[in-house]
């Protein structure tokens, strides 16, 4: 299966706040992406690995785009920016990563939404679209997501979408300079 062909596929879904589109990140998104990340640094800080000094630089974004393109070409992951609303503004990201082919047929899912766009259904719609892509287009059997136990909105989102709690991964990610446990949730194609 040639998975790289999916790089240009746009995923769409309806959300409470309107229609969303998930599109592969491109260079033209840099300004909007950097502005959204900059405005949400403190909001995202409790949930994400520490940002480097160059996190929001053009050079860093260019490297990120190259890595994203390589992932899509190899079929090891599919990163998406989330666009929403009447003007399809950039509101966050939803990334399918660690894609494994047979026999595992699985992937990991991560997502974030800017604070001003939270609780409008955009993250839920993005995860729904990503799940449909994983199960229907990629033919995966399992999608998992890891979330800190204190991230109640994200846990609720996963549970509403049929993810089941499997356990806790100890010291899963280094967040704010400390290793943090994460609860692991999964959804199967036959759930």
Interval 84-97 mean pLDDT = 94
- If one counts every other C-beta atom within 10 angstroms of the C-beta of residue 174, the result is 11
Peptide bond into 103 cis (omega under 30): yes
Closest CA to 74 of 122, 2, 11, 167: 2
Strand partners, 187: 143
- pLDDT by residue (tens digit) across 14-47? 888 789 999 999 999 999 999 999 999 999 999 9
- Tokens 């409008």 map to which residue? 120
- pTM as predicted: 0.93
Indicate the average pLDDT of the chain: 93
* Domains of the chain in sequence order: 3-188 (3.40.630.30)
Sequence-separated (6 or more) residues with CB below 8 Å from residue 115: 39, 40, 43
Sign of torsion over alpha carbons 158, 52, 4, 81:
positive
pLDDT tens digits along 99-140: 999 999 999 999 999 999 999 999 999 999 999 999 999 999
pLDDT digits (tens, 9 = 90+) for 50-61: 888 899 999 999
Q: Is the pLDDT of residue 6 over 60?
A: yes
Give pLDDT tens digits for 148-185: 999 999 999 999 999 999 999 999 999 988 999 999 99
Q: Give the C-alpha separation, 55 to 144, whole Å.
A: 26
Is the backbone of residue 181 left (phi > 0), alpha (psi -120 to 50) or beta? beta
């Amino acid at each position: 299966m040639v998975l790289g062909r999916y790089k240009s596929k746009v995923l769409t879904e309806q959300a409470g706040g309107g229609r969303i589109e998930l599109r592969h990140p491109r260079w033209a998104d840099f300004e909007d992406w950097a502005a959204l990340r900059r405005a949400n640094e403190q909001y995202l800080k409790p949930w994400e690995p520490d940002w480097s000094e160059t996190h929001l630089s053009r050079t860093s974004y260019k490297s990120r785009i190259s890595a994203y393109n390589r992932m899509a070409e190899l079929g090891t992951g599919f990163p998406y920016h989330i666009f929403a609303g009447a003007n399809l503004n950039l509101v966050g990201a939803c990334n399918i990563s660690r894609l494994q082919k047979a026999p595992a047929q699985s992937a990991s899912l991560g997502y974030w939404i800017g604070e001003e766009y939270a609780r409008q259904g955009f993250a839920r719609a993005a995860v729904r679209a990503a799940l449909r892509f994983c199960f229907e287009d990629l033919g995966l059997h399992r999608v998992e997501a890891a979330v800190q136990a204190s991230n109640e909105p994200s846990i609720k989102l996963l549970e509403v979408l049929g993810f089941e709690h499997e356990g806790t991964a100890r010291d899963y990610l280094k967040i704010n300079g400390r290793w943090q446990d994460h609860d692991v949730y999964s959804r199967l194609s036959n759930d």
